[in-house]
Amino acid sequence: MDRVHLVRVPRLQGRRVQRGAGRTSWSDGTRSHLFVVPVVVSGAHGGADAIDLVPGADYDIPPREREGPHPIAFSPDSKTLCFTAVTDTVEAASTNADLFEVDVNGGAPKKLTANPGFDGAPAYSPDGKTIAYHSQARPGVESDKWRLMVLDRATGKSTSLTDAFDRSADTPLWSADGKTIYFNAEDRGEMPVFAIAATGGTPRAITPGSFDGEFLVALRQAQGEPGDTLVVSRSSLAAPSELFVVLTNSGAARQLTHQNAALLSQLDLAKGESFTFKGATNTDVQGFLVRPPNFDATKKYPVLMILHGGPETQHSDAWSYRWNSQIFASPGYVVLNINRRGSTGFGQKFTDDIAGDWGGKAFTDLMNGLDYVLGRYAFTDRTRVAAAGGSYGAYMIDWMESHAKGRFRALISHAGVYDLTSEYGATEELWFPEHDFLGTPWTNPATYEKTSPHTYSAEFGAYKTPTLVIAGEQDFRVPYTQSLEFFSALQRQNVPSKLIVFPDEGHWVLKPQNSVFWYREFMDWLATYLTANAASTKSAR
């Protein structure tokens, strides 16, 4: 049968694929614009046509990528809108975005910021005189620290409130009286809500030790009581999100919803146990351990180490429907989540330390953490250890294929970067490798070569670690050809290996039926090679 090849050519320079939304489609030249439409109390259309507030604009509102929290905000008098937009011509090489204001009746948008990094998440003060937002100072760095900024609308001057605070401010929201700004920030695997005076000062954690990924300022407390009331969406490694009411003056919390109570009562889900050890350069590194159901401390359990992506993200004490630690622990595995070098929530230097060093200190952190757990917890079986990861986490799996010297019984690589040079030529985020590998393949070939797993592929056959390779055919972030290259190297060296390609998925597996299949294949691979009687040389070709 003849094959029909469809070639789609991008219309504008640098816009090779649609960014965001799972990164699964080519750009068709269309843009998302900002519209307003009158409404009546009932919510019905008021009779007037929707007004395009940015007619002819060759940018998206909100940005298709990295739009973050509330990228559009109404002023208190509802006469003005503030929005975030990326206007750089070559989007694939830029992380810049700026704030703009536009009248709800139309007119030319006014640019409010000119910072070379990303400015987003605008929030008007109750009196409308000030806009709070978060901002990254450095261009071309997705993982730069998010500063909490305030912009005086009268003078146009922006001021940072968190230069001395070594965490990234995420979602700025104002107190009812306009004297305080609330925001959440990643902090050692958690994401508490903080409060800071609108004039600056030291942030105070309102919900320390909690992962409150989303929140809003709900209402004032009872008359005569100070502070505001927040509603937060709180989860943990042991429980999906529920809504809680939090009093800002005391941090006292009361659970509002119990949507998952009946299901959780039927399950034995262990809480994540935080631990700290010494990583590369004697630096403190944190991780979480999750015990299996029906845990018996007198038994020996296999260990599964999960490697997070990013690389500049964190393992959180939070629920996830993808890469769920409780599912991984359910067959009787101890699950290990380590926030190695490059993770967020541990200070900007810790995050920046991975640039140009993907396989260096981060690898040492992970292996030191594994040694620490195997030495500290008597119920872990050092002879039965596996590792799995996605995106950068899968890069590390590909790296471990040679550098771990056969220490693992099984490896699982999902959407992993294998050849840094070919990845550069195919990804839609050119700024990413240009920052993390200190240039392009032609300006800094040495870093690309020494940091690329494919450079060490000749060693795969020496250890023959059984490896499951997974990819999405619609992945433009890490194109699935990276996984094909890795799998071919494994196969040609007779390494027990299996390839799964989802034709209808991108960087993440999102469709319910595909997710079920993904988990089944993932767990079957571990059952084959990680159980007590599993032969590490069993072929899965």
206 in any annotated domain: yes
The residues facing 133 across adjacent strands are: 149
Tokens at 44, concatenated:
């019905």
What's the pLDDT band for 304 if we cut at 50, 70, 90? very high
Q: Which residues contact 492 (CB under 8 A, 6 or more apart)?
A: none
Q: Taking the CB of residue 231, how many other CB atoms lie within 10 A of it? A: 17
| Mean predicted confidence (pLDDT) in 141-166 | 97
CA dihedral of residues 356, 480, 401, 309 (deg, nearest 10): 50
Q: Nearest-CA neighbor of 200 among 247, 227, 174, 163? A: 163
Domain boundary among 246, 267, 288: 267
Cα separations (Å) of 245 from 174, 228, 258, 378, 532? 17, 10, 13, 40, 47
In the predicted model, is pLDDT for residue 541 greater than 60?
no
82 with 202, same domain: the answer is no
262 and 280 share one domain: no
Assess whether pLDDT exceeds 60 at residue 539: no
Residues 307 and 259 in one domain: no
Query: Vertex 393, ends 391 and 394: CA angle to 5°?
Result: 65
Query: 3-state DSSP helix/strand/coil percent for the chain, to nearest 5?
Result: 20, 30, 50
- Per-residue pLDDT at 187 exceeds 60: yes
- Angle, helices 361-376 vs 392-403, to 10°: value is 80
As given in the structure block, the two tokens for residue 465 are 């670690």
Catalytic, 422? Answer no
| Per-residue model confidence (pLDDT) at position 219 | 65
Percent of the chain with pLDDT over 70: 90
Of the residues 125, 316, 391, 497, which is catalytic? 391
Q: Domain count of the chain? A: 3
pLDDT at 334: 98
pLDDT band at 466 (very low <50, low <70, confident <90, very high): very high
The residues with which 244 forms a beta bridge, in sequence order, are 232, 255
DSSP for 370-411, written as a single string:
HHHHHHH-TTEEEEEEEEEEETHHHHHHHHHHHHTTT--SEE
pLDDT grade for 43, boundaries at 50, 70 and 90: low
- Mean pLDDT across 228-238: 96
Residue 443 counted as domain residue: no
Q: Tens of pLDDT along 402-432?
A: 999 999 999 999 999 999 999 999 998 888 8
Give the chain's mean pLDDT.
Answer: 90
User: Is 403 an active-site residue?
Assistant: no
Are residues 250 and 378 part of one domain?
no
Show which of 219, 252, 267 is a domain's final residue.
267
Residue 182 scores a pLDDT above 80: yes
Structure tokens of 277? 């050890």
239 with 347, same domain: the answer is no
Torsion of CA 210, 213, 216, 217, to 10 degrees: 30
In-domain check, residue 439: no
Residues 505, 426, single domain; the answer is yes
> What is the gyration radius of the CA atoms in the chain, in angstroms?
25
Percent of the chain at pLDDT above 90? Answer: 82
Instruction: Tell whether the torsion through CA atoms of 291, 295, 296 and 301 is positive or negative.
Output: negative
Residue 267 has pLDDT above 50, yes or no: yes
Residue 90 reports pLDDT greater than 80: no
Query: Length of the chain, please?
Result: 541
Tell me: pLDDT of 26 over 80: no
216 shares its domain with 334: no
DSSP annotation of 249 reads T
Quick check: is 440 in a domain? Answer: no
- What is the CB-side half-sphere exposure of residue 258 using CA atoms within 13 A? 6
Dump the DSSP string for 53-80. Answer: SSTT-SS-SS-SSS--S--EEE-TTSSE
In a domain, 450, yes or no: no
Catalytic residue of the set 94, 212, 475, 536: 475
Does 140 reside within a domain?
yes
Which residues lie below 8 Å from residue 271, measured CB to CB, with a gap of 6+? 236, 237, 238, 290
Is residue 174 in some structural domain? yes
- Least confident stretch, 3-7, 108-112, 255-259: 3-7
Q: Which two tokens stand for residue 388?
A: 């799995």
Quick one: pLDDT band at residue 12, thresholds 50, 70, 90?
Answer: very low
Give the residue carrying structure tokens 């690309």: 448
Q: Are 267 and 349 contacting, i.e. CB atoms less than 8 angstroms apart?
A: no
Q: Which of 221, 240, 267 is the last residue of a domain?
A: 267
In a domain, residue 540? The reply is no
Regarding whether 230 and 276 lie in a shared domain, the answer is no
Average pLDDT for 290-314: 97
Q: State the catalytic residue, choosing from 134, 315, 414, 507.
A: 507
CA 490 to chain CA mean position, Å? 29
Give the Cα-Cα-Cα angle 524, 320, 184 (nearest 5 degrees): 155
Q: Are residues 259 and 274 in the same domain?
A: no
Measured at the alpha carbon of residue 467, what is the angle toward residues 461 and 472, in degrees to the nearest 5?
125
Domain that holds residue 345: 270-430+460-530
In one letter, which amino acid is 234? Answer: R
**Which residues, at least 6 apart from 518, have a Cβ–Cβ distance to it below 8 Å?**
470, 500, 502, 509
296 is catalytic: no
Average pLDDT (182-195) is 98
279 plus 364 within the same structural domain: yes
Are 134 and 33 in the same domain?
Answer: yes
| pLDDT of res. 127 | 97
Domain shared by 107 and 210, yes or no: no
Q: For residue 503, give the CATH number of its domain.
A: 3.40.50.1820
9 pLDDT higher than 50: no
Please give the Cα distance from 538 to 174 (Å, whole number): 59
Residue 42: band (very low, low, confident or very high) from pLDDT cuts 50, 70, 90: low
Give the pLDDT score at 63. 85
Locate 491 and state its tokens. Answer: 């196969």
The Cα-based distances of 105 to 76, 84, 319 in angstroms read 16, 18, 42
| pLDDT per position as a tens digit, 471-528 | 999 999 999 999 999 999 999 999 999 999 999 999 999 999 999 999 999 999 999 9
Q: Which pLDDT does position 107 carry in this prediction?
A: 94
- Sequence-distant (6+) residues with CB within 8 A of 181 are 123, 132, 148, 150, 161, 172, 173, 174, 175, 195, 196, 197, 198
